[in-house]
């Protein structure tokens, strides 16, 4: 699945599967996102960088990593999987897609990238006959947790990230409801099309 936004007189922006050549740029993006998180909340988003990079490399190799390009430069990324071991047996029920590592270059001035990616994963879930989208968030990222809850996610449980020991929360939303809510916000109107 791909997403493309074309505005006359400007350049195209796309969400598309990442490729192996993107790993260095994704590493740079993770570093910048961690620095930004550290400045805002006092904690990096991904405390165990080597673990996060290993997982990112696995997602990239599995074709689960998606990137937004602006002028051919990666400005944001997200990985999308159909299972997440953190969720245990629930992740094998076949009803959800899981998104991870939603990162935006702090210098990027494109608005609503988070909503664009969340809409993208919700559309992808529906095309695969999946009812929900799910994610996990570090509890101390209170603003991010509130953002997801405001969009219509429901907190399903609390847990502890291993091996870091940091507390986290599991969040779930109906893919259909997320699309309706984002559409109602009207921020994505005329901003892009989903292509299969």
Starting at the edge strand that comes first in sequence, how are the strands of the sheet with 167-174 ordered? 154-160, 167-174, 132-138, 96-104, 73-81, 65-70, 13-17, 2-5, 193-195
For 97, half-sphere exposure in the C-beta direction (CA atoms, 13 angstrom radius) is 23
pLDDT, tens digit (0-9, with 9 covering 90-100), for 131-144 = 999 999 989 888 89
Q: How much is the pLDDT for 196? A: 32
User: What's the mean per-residue pLDDT of the chain?
Assistant: 86
Question: Are 131 and 125 in contact, with CB atoms under 8 Å apart?
Answer: yes
Nearest-angstrom CA–CA distance, 173 and 193: 22
Q: Give pTM, 2 decimals.
A: 0.86
pLDDT band, residue 195 (cuts 50/70/90): very low
* 2-6, 27-31, 175-179: the lowest-pLDDT one: 2-6
Contacts 24+ apart (CB under 8 A), 27-35: 27/53, 27/56, 29/74, 29/76, 29/77, 29/103, 29/105, 30/56, 30/101, 30/103, 32/105, 32/106, 32/107, 33/103, 33/104, 33/105, 33/106, 35/106
Nearest-angstrom CA–CA distance, 13 and 2: 11
* 85-94, 99-108, 143-152: the lowest-pLDDT one: 85-94
Nearest-angstrom CA–CA distance, 83 and 193: 26
pLDDT, tens digit (0-9, with 9 covering 90-100), for 135-192 = 999 898 888 999 999 999 999 999 998 877 889 999 999 999 999 999 888 655 544 4
For the chain, domain boundaries:
2-195
Residue owning tokens 């790993």: 23
The alpha helices in 45-169, defined as continuous H runs, are 49-61, 113-127, 142-151
CATH class of 2-195: alpha beta
Nearest-angstrom CA–CA distance, 127 and 188: 19
């Amino acid at each position: 699945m791909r997403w493309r936004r074309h505005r006359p007189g400007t350049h195209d922006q796309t969400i598309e599967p990442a490729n192996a050549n993107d790993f260095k740029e994704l590493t740079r993006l993770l570093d910048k996102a961690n620095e930004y998180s550290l400045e805002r909340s006092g904690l990096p988003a991904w405390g165990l960088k080597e673990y996060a990079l290993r997982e990112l490399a696995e997602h990239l190799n599995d074709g689960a990593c998606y990137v937004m390009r602006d002028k051919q430069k990666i400005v944001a990324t997200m990985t999308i999987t159909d299972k997440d071991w953190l969720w245990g047996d629930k992740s094998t029920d076949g009803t959800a897609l899981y998104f991870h590592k939603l990162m935006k270059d702090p210098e990027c001035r494109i608005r609503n990238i988070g909503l664009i990616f969340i809409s993208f994963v919700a559309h992808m879930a529906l095309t695969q006959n999946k009812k929900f989208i799910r994610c996990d968030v570090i509890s101390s990222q209170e603003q991010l947790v509130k953002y997801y809850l405001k969009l219509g996610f429901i907190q399903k449980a609390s847990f502890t990230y291993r091996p870091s020991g940091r507390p986290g929360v599991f969040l779930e939303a109906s893919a259909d409801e997320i699309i309706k809510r984002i559409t109602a916000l009207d921020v994505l109107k005329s901003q892009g099309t989903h292509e299969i």
